[in-house]
Structure 1
């Protein structure tokens, strides 16, 4: 499985005009999905956050036929057919962009193909999601970008 974005390549700095700098999620797309995929989970982490790795975004139960997400996925994303947000490190059920800092930040997007849908309500914590995924991951893909520092944005 391969995860990509139309606005940045693996390891590249996001463009200054990218919506992520305003707090919106970037557009993402994936391909080469394995047979037997019943749903997807998307996790987004900032390992360079002050105080340790921050989870910026969790989406789960994304439909198996979905192959992309537009920029700026909002709290109300009914077209995603039952998908749900989990609670990120800041306590929000949405995408939260990395906070500006004195140094560039790496941001990891990880997509997991699961062999089932998860029986979880919306707004769960990361630990609950990770435990529920155990034994159901059939493929995963990742994409890394760098968000400019407060001095380069």
Structure 2
């Protein structure tokens, strides 16, 4: 399989129009356009019955105590965990294109609904947990929400866009399912996969 993420080149910075947070010299970060990029793929196996689309950041701090704190940095040697930014399951086998802005076009305070979206079924991304203590933003965030790494992180974050071709029509995931649930459900059903990786940082010393 081959995957193209229009505007995102392998190993290169992700454009700000796809980001949840953009650099702001005065306040460190402000909300970005938060548009999902266009994804297109080809050469899926003939036996494909559905697709899973996901985007995740494997560089998220495992401990958030120093995240976005004045006078502190998130050390490079801190253990990191996956943060899911985009989950779509049960994407029909006849689909091979997700247009730019189709699943997200702007930051949606308090999130977007879980379940059937413009294409496929939306799972819950990790902004749901990250923003849970913010009264203006707390809610269930489903579908796509783009990069917004800590502005005081010592490392550049990597964002893996993935498409997986499956041998089942549906993963039968209901309600507020997350990235770990998707990975567990599709285990043993993946016929082929493709990935494009971009980078992003809000740390002015790394930009």
Shorter-chain TM-score range: 0.7 to 0.9
Greater radius of gyration (CA): 2
Aligned ranges 1:36-51 → 2 under 5 Å: 36-51=47-62
Please point out which of 147, 151, 176 is paired with 1:98: 147
User: How far, CA to CA, are the matches of 1:19 and 1:90 in structure 2?
Assistant: 15
User: How far, CA to CA, are the matches of 1:64 and 1:146 in structure 2?
Assistant: 29
Contact kept? 2:18, 2:147, Cα under 8 Å = no
Deviation at 1:121, TM superposition (A): 2.1
Q: Hey, what does 1:63 align to over in structure 2? A: 92
Q: Secondary structure at the match of 1:49?
A: strand
Q: Secondary structure at the match of 1:129?
A: helix
Deviation at 1:95, TM superposition (A): 1.4
Q: Which runs of 5+ in 2 are unaligned?
A: 21-31, 63-80, 105-111, 129-140
Contact kept? 1:47, 1:54, Cα under 8 Å = yes
Q: Hey, what does 2:18 align to over in structure 1? A: 19
Q: Secondary structure at the match of 1:36?
A: coil
Deviation at 1:106, TM superposition (A): 0.7
Deviation at 1:78, TM superposition (A): 5.1
Deviation at 1:122, TM superposition (A): 4.6
User: How far, CA to CA, are the matches of 1:54 and 1:69 in structure 2?
Assistant: 21
Aligned residues: 150
Please point out which of 174, 182, 186 is paired with 1:133: 186
Contact kept? 1:37, 1:115, Cα under 8 Å = yes
Deviation at 1:125, TM superposition (A): 2.1
Residue 28 (structure 1) aligned with residue 57 (structure 2)? no
TM-score by length of 2: 0.65
Q: Hey, what does 2:10 align to over in structure 1? A: 10
Instruction: Give per-residue Cα distances to partners, 1:44-65, cap 9 Å, x unaligned.
Output: 1111222222111111001111
Q: Which runs of 5+ in 1 are unaligned?
A: none
